[in-house]
Structure 1
Amino acid sequence: MQFDAVLLKQRRDAMVAGGFWLDRTINDALDDAVRLCPEKLALTAYRIERGDVRRFTYAELSVMADRIAVGLSRLGIGHNDVVACQLPNSWELFLLYLACSRIGAVMNPLMHIFRERELRFMLDYAETRLFIVPKLFRKFDYEAMAKGLQTEIHRLERVIVAGGDGEDSFEALLSGAEWEKAPDAQAILSTHRPGGDDITQLLFTSGTTGQPKGVMHSANTLISNIQAYAARLHLGANDTILMASPMAHQTGFMYGLMMPIILQARAVLQDIWQAPKAAEVIRAESVSFTMASTPFLMDLTHEVEESGKPVPTLRCFLCAGAPIPGPLVAQAQETLGAKIISAWGMTENGAVTLTMPEDDDERAVNTDGKPLPGVKVKILDDTDQPVPPGVEGRLFVRSCSNFGGYLKSAHLNAMDEEGWFDSGDIARMDERGYIRIAGRSKDVIIRGGENIPVVEIEALLYQHPAIASVAIVGYDDARMGERACAFVVPHEAHAPPTLRDIADYLRGLQVAIQYVPERLEILEAMPTTPSGKIQKFKVRNILRQRLVEESAKAERS
């Protein structure tokens, strides 16, 4: 694969001169940890469905990373080859990235919620040569799905199954045999070690163009962010970091996989979110830090409150993806005894703004924090002029961690010659430099931290025989942050579709269940401009009014 990461070269000199890009990779961090603390426990991975736990010291991590790397090489994987995986949080995913980094392969973690429709595009677009999936996870047969896709995607040479028992299993091909002891192992491991500007990670993000975009990151962009993030939060080698957010998101990948190794700290993984299990793990493993979206914080707080069993080691819970309700911050801090941190970021640059542990609690309620070191933000009006404090405008970011560009889509990079990236979000900034995300100019709904690609789902629903027109908008939800509502104008020749009809239709098209609207409203006609464009702000107003009416009716009854 040839990666067109054109945004790296144009700012390299400035980033190196500023001390942000150190040309270190995860290989260097792991090597340092093995040299300084080889017997320290580095990774503990809980698998809820299987009921098992796997642990690795730093020395054991290094040996297994080398083993899997040589195994990948035996399969023909090398520098700049894309290795995709759809694994839950697991030791296999953790080690797979370390192994890819040993030989310069590029890791492309994919959310486990994706099904054939999303995967077919992503695997083909990334020219994926190797796809690694669990045999079963949450009762879904990933092996059957992946092997079915293999027949359709000509570049996809092999599917490997974690937890499988055949010749294509993860153990048989990668982690079982002692590949690292082969005579040519050291030559393989030393030949294609990547540099700081080589692409190391490819993540797909939902956008407004109807197709996901492939975000390219180098070790320099990722590590520069992680170092600033850890310093802001006072994290170090003595911390134990729980990651229950998916490592196929930037949250899990950067701060649950990479950060513990960079800090020579300890990572604890949980593959399925269950608040009682999370509380148990925090107590058993002396977890001091975790990061997740608002529903996780809400669930954990309720669990600890109801069980009466404290989590005394938990020092900090960073919450991102949606505003944190004020009462929840107060309740969580009292119940958990942890500082609640608010943050905002994107796949394209990791965390951009964070509140500080030293801040008053109201900062986490009313703001999304201030920029990390190496990050600048500005807010402009529609004429590209800066707005005064407190006034909303378009949010731009210039950061040491800005990505290298969108794969095969440089025309969408949205970065100007001075390195300012258009986030697509609307925000305001206060006199102290703290920002608040006020909305999104791009048409995306964030449900439980997961972006719903609205344009793509609308395009599919337009093909439904009973739907003449459709508009999907978000509405607030106390637990998930937002949910999706589909407004539909039915075809005259058909009865109006039900919510069940829409759900069944989308699932029949192999759409991820999280993308299916959870509310349906029927309209006789869509509000439109004179040119026929749907006025979504009016659709949102209609929904807002209906929700108010429903609430008033519920109170009267």
Structure 2
Amino acid sequence: MDFDAVLIGPRRAASVAAGHWQDRTVNDYLAACVSARPDAPALTAVSLDRGTVDRFTWSELARLADRVAVGLSRLGIGAQDVVSCQLPNGWHLTVLYLACARLGAVLNPLMPIFRERELSFMLAHAQSRVMVVPQVFRSFGHAQMVRGLREALPALRHVVVAGGDGADSFEALLSGPRLEDEPDAANILLGCRPRPDDVTQLIYTSGTTGEPKGVMHTANTLYANIVAYAGRLRLNGDDVVLMASPMAHQTGFMYGLLMPVMLGAHAVLQDIWDPARAAALIREAGVTFTMGSTPFLTDLARVVTESGMPVPSLRTFLCAGAPIPGALVESARSALGATIVSAWGMSENGAVTTTLPDDPEARASTTDGCPLPGVEVRVVDGANVDVPTGETGRLLVRACSNFGGYLKRPHLNSTDADGWFDTGDVARLDAHGYLRIAGRSKDVIIRGGENIPVLEVETLLYRHPAVAQVAIVAYPDERLGERACAFVVPRAGQSLDMAGMVDWLRQQKMALQYIPEKLVVQDALPATPAGKIQKFRLRELLRGDPA
């Protein structure tokens, strides 16, 4: 595969000179762990799906990575070949990436909830040579599905099945035989180590605006973010990191796989979210740090409160993905005894902003944090002029961790000659330099020349006792240009009509012109596999006027 990571070269000299790119790969960090603490706990993989727990020290993890790397080479995998996987959180995924890094191959993690439609596009676009899947996960036959796709994917040479029992099983091909002891193993393991600017990860965006895009990252772009992130959160080799967010998503991959190796910290992986089991793991393993979206925080705080069993080791919970309600910050802080940190980021650059551990508690619910070291942000108007403090505009990011570009789609890279990446988000900055995301730029609704604060309206509707989910999108209007439509999924046994919605928003003292003028009630909203509502599909529905 030829990777067109055109955004790497132009910023290399400045990034190295500033100390953001340290020219270290995961191979360097893993070697340091093996040297400094060979017998220390490195990885505990807890599978609720299979009812198993697997534990590895650093020396065991490195030896298994060598073994799987030689096995991949026997399957024809070498430098810059793409190895895709659709694996839940577990040791197979961690070891597979470490093995790919031995060979200079590129790992392409794919969410376990993808099905034929998504996989057909992504595997073909990436020209994947090997696909690793579980035999069955959550009662779904992944191996059978992918085997059915192979005829239409000429580049795909092998399907490897984790937990399988045949000749194509992960165990038979990769992790079973002692391949690292074979005569040519040393040449294989040392002959094609990747350089720090080689593409090492290919991860697809969620597709909230249509076709998913393949985000290319190198060791330098990934670790430039992780070093700054860990430093801000005061994480080190004595920490224990729990990761229950999917490792096929950038959150889980960067901070549940790469970060523990960089720190020499013990990683605890959980494949299916179960807050009671997560609380038990925190107590058993002495977990000090975890992260996830708002529902993870809500669930964990509820379980700890209801059980009356505290989690005293937990020091920090970083919450990202959506604004955190103020009441949740307060209740979670009380229940968990941990600092609640809010953050915002993207697959294209990892975490961009976080609150600081010593910030006033309110900042976690009123902002998405301030930029990490090595990161700059601007909020601009349509003419790319910075808007005044407190006003909303388009969010641009220039960061040491910005990606190398979109695979085969350089015309979509949205990065100017000065390195500013247009995130596609609308945001504002406060007087302290803290960011608040206001929504996607494509979600802005301009009614009669006035911008409707979509996120604020949605937040108010989420507080309605009958509302489980809400998304507000524009529909065209001849006189005003656009008007707003609210798509709502009611809670079980509840209902909401137009009059009820309007009355609720008026009670919240919302300006009348901001209140949606159309309501569509549905059983579910279209969403990406990562759970993000696909507003472009809602706009498509409106063109057929389903109200």
TM-score, structure 1 as length reference: 0.83
**Structure 2 residue matching 1:322: 3-state secondary structure:** coil
Write out aligned runs for 1:166-177 (5 A): 166-177=166-177
Unaligned runs of 5+ residues in structure 2 are: 445-457, 491-495, 505-547
User: 1-side partners of 2:470 and 2:86: how far apart?
Assistant: 25
Over residues 253-293 of structure 1, what are the superposed CA-to-partner deviations in whole Å (9 max), with x where a residue is unaligned? 00000000100111000000001100011111100000100
2:500 matched residue in structure 1: 549
Quote the offset at 1:210 in angstroms.
1.9
2:484 matched residue in structure 1: 538
Q: 2:472·2:484 contact (CA, 8 Å) conserved in 1?
A: no
1:528 matched residue in structure 2: 476
User: 1-side partners of 2:497 and 2:196: how far apart?
Assistant: 53
1:457 matched residue in structure 2: none
Over residues 336-392 of structure 1, what are the superposed CA-to-partner deviations in whole Å (9 max), with x where a residue is unaligned? 000000000000000000000010001101000000000000110122111111111
User: 2-side partners of 1:106 and 1:215: how far apart?
Assistant: 12
User: 2-side partners of 1:40 and 1:434: how far apart?
Assistant: 39
2:284 matched residue in structure 1: 284
Quote the offset at 1:397 in angstroms.
0.2
Q: For residues 122 and 551 of structure 1, do their structure 2 counterparts lie closer, same or farther at Cα, with a shift above 3 Å needed?
A: same
Q: For residues 183 and 264 of structure 1, do their structure 2 counterparts lie closer, same or farther at Cα, with a shift above 3 Å needed?
A: same
User: 2-side partners of 1:314 and 1:143: how far apart?
Assistant: 37
User: 2-side partners of 1:430 and 1:107: how far apart?
Assistant: 39
1:466 matched residue in structure 2: none
Q: 2:470·2:488 contact (CA, 8 Å) conserved in 1?
A: no
User: 1-side partners of 2:471 and 2:364: how far apart?
Assistant: 28
Q: 2:471·2:486 contact (CA, 8 Å) conserved in 1?
A: no
Q: 2:429·2:435 contact (CA, 8 Å) conserved in 1?
A: yes
**Structure 2 residue matching 1:390: 3-state secondary structure:** coil
2:44 matched residue in structure 1: 44
Q: Which amino acid aligns with 1:296?
A: F
1:237 matched residue in structure 2: 237
1:125 matched residue in structure 2: 125
User: 2-side partners of 1:284 and 1:193: how far apart?
Assistant: 37
**Structure 2 residue matching 1:161: 3-state secondary structure:** strand
User: 2-side partners of 1:360 and 1:197: how far apart?
Assistant: 38
2:2 matched residue in structure 1: 2
2:512 matched residue in structure 1: none
2:100 matched residue in structure 1: 100
Quote the offset at 1:394 in angstroms.
0.6
Q: For residues 482 and 379 of structure 1, do their structure 2 counterparts lie closer, same or farther at Cα, with a shift above 3 Å needed?
A: farther
Write out aligned runs for 1:399-438 (5 A): 399-438=399-438
Q: For residues 474 and 123 of structure 1, do their structure 2 counterparts lie closer, same or farther at Cα, with a shift above 3 Å needed?
A: farther
Q: 2:84·2:130 contact (CA, 8 Å) conserved in 1?
A: yes
**Structure 2 residue matching 1:538: 3-state secondary structure:** strand
Q: For residues 47 and 475 of structure 1, do their structure 2 counterparts lie closer, same or farther at Cα, with a shift above 3 Å needed?
A: farther
User: 2-side partners of 1:484 and 1:127: how far apart?
Assistant: 37
* Identity percentage of aligned residues: 58
Q: 1:475·1:483 contact (CA, 8 Å) conserved in 2?
A: no
Q: Which amino acid aligns with 1:189?
A: L
Write out aligned runs for 1:101-116 (5 A): 101-116=101-116
User: 2-side partners of 1:442 and 1:23: how far apart?
Assistant: 37
User: 2-side partners of 1:552 and 1:370: how far apart?
Assistant: 36
Q: 1:128·1:155 contact (CA, 8 Å) conserved in 2?
A: yes
Q: 2:240·2:268 contact (CA, 8 Å) conserved in 1?
A: yes
User: 2-side partners of 1:263 and 1:551: how far apart?
Assistant: 52
1:81 matched residue in structure 2: 81
- Pair 1:326 & 2:326 matched: yes
Over residues 11-40 of structure 1, what are the superposed CA-to-partner deviations in whole Å (9 max), with x where a residue is unaligned? 001000100001110000000110111111
Quote the offset at 1:207 in angstroms.
4.1
User: 1-side partners of 2:331 and 2:499: how far apart?
Assistant: 27
User: 2-side partners of 1:263 and 1:385: how far apart?
Assistant: 40
Q: 1:104·1:193 contact (CA, 8 Å) conserved in 2?
A: yes
User: 2-side partners of 1:114 and 1:311: how far apart?
Assistant: 34
2:150 matched residue in structure 1: 150
Q: 1:293·1:319 contact (CA, 8 Å) conserved in 2?
A: yes
User: 2-side partners of 1:257 and 1:267: how far apart?
Assistant: 8
Quote the offset at 1:400 in angstroms.
0.2
Over residues 127-183 of structure 1, what are the superposed CA-to-partner deviations in whole Å (9 max), with x where a residue is unaligned? 011000001111111011010011221111111110000000000000000000000
Q: For residues 47 and 527 of structure 1, do their structure 2 counterparts lie closer, same or farther at Cα, with a shift above 3 Å needed?
A: closer
2:265 matched residue in structure 1: 265
Q: Which amino acid aligns with 1:307?
A: S
Q: For residues 107 and 474 of structure 1, do their structure 2 counterparts lie closer, same or farther at Cα, with a shift above 3 Å needed?
A: farther
Q: 1:197·1:219 contact (CA, 8 Å) conserved in 2?
A: yes
**Structure 2 residue matching 1:278: 3-state secondary structure:** helix
**Structure 2 residue matching 1:287: 3-state secondary structure:** coil
Q: 2:369·2:436 contact (CA, 8 Å) conserved in 1?
A: yes
2:294 matched residue in structure 1: 294
Q: 2:134·2:162 contact (CA, 8 Å) conserved in 1?
A: yes
**Structure 2 residue matching 1:417: 3-state secondary structure:** coil
Unaligned runs of 5+ residues in structure 1 are: 445-472, 488-525
Q: 1:475·1:484 contact (CA, 8 Å) conserved in 2?
A: no
Q: For residues 130 and 175 of structure 1, do their structure 2 counterparts lie closer, same or farther at Cα, with a shift above 3 Å needed?
A: same
Quote the offset at 1:302 in angstroms.
0.3
1:20 matched residue in structure 2: 20
User: 1-side partners of 2:503 and 2:379: how far apart?
Assistant: 38
User: 1-side partners of 2:426 and 2:5: how far apart?
Assistant: 26
Q: 1:161·1:170 contact (CA, 8 Å) conserved in 2?
A: yes
1:314 matched residue in structure 2: 314
Q: Which amino acid aligns with 2:500?
A: E
User: 1-side partners of 2:468 and 2:213: how far apart?
Assistant: 22
Quote the offset at 1:539 in angstroms.
1.9
Q: 1:244·1:273 contact (CA, 8 Å) conserved in 2?
A: yes
User: 1-side partners of 2:184 and 2:85: how far apart?
Assistant: 26
Over residues 50-92 of structure 1, what are the superposed CA-to-partner deviations in whole Å (9 max), with x where a residue is unaligned? 2110000000011000000000000000100000000000100
User: 2-side partners of 1:542 and 1:209: how far apart?
Assistant: 20
Write out aligned runs for 1:313-462 (5 A): 313-442=313-442
Q: For residues 325 and 17 of structure 1, do their structure 2 counterparts lie closer, same or farther at Cα, with a shift above 3 Å needed?
A: same
Q: For residues 189 and 534 of structure 1, do their structure 2 counterparts lie closer, same or farther at Cα, with a shift above 3 Å needed?
A: farther
User: 1-side partners of 2:497 and 2:405: how far apart?
Assistant: 41
**Structure 2 residue matching 1:351: 3-state secondary structure:** strand
User: 1-side partners of 2:98 and 2:90: how far apart?
Assistant: 13
User: 2-side partners of 1:548 and 1:425: how far apart?
Assistant: 31
Q: 1:161·1:169 contact (CA, 8 Å) conserved in 2?
A: yes
Q: 2:135·2:143 contact (CA, 8 Å) conserved in 1?
A: yes
Q: Which amino acid aligns with 1:142?
A: H
Quote the offset at 1:528 in angstroms.
2.2
**Structure 1 residue matching 2:328: 3-state secondary structure:** helix
User: 2-side partners of 1:251 and 1:337: how far apart?
Assistant: 23
Q: 1:476·1:482 contact (CA, 8 Å) conserved in 2?
A: no
Alignment RMSD (CA, Å): 2.5
Q: 1:207·1:442 contact (CA, 8 Å) conserved in 2?
A: no
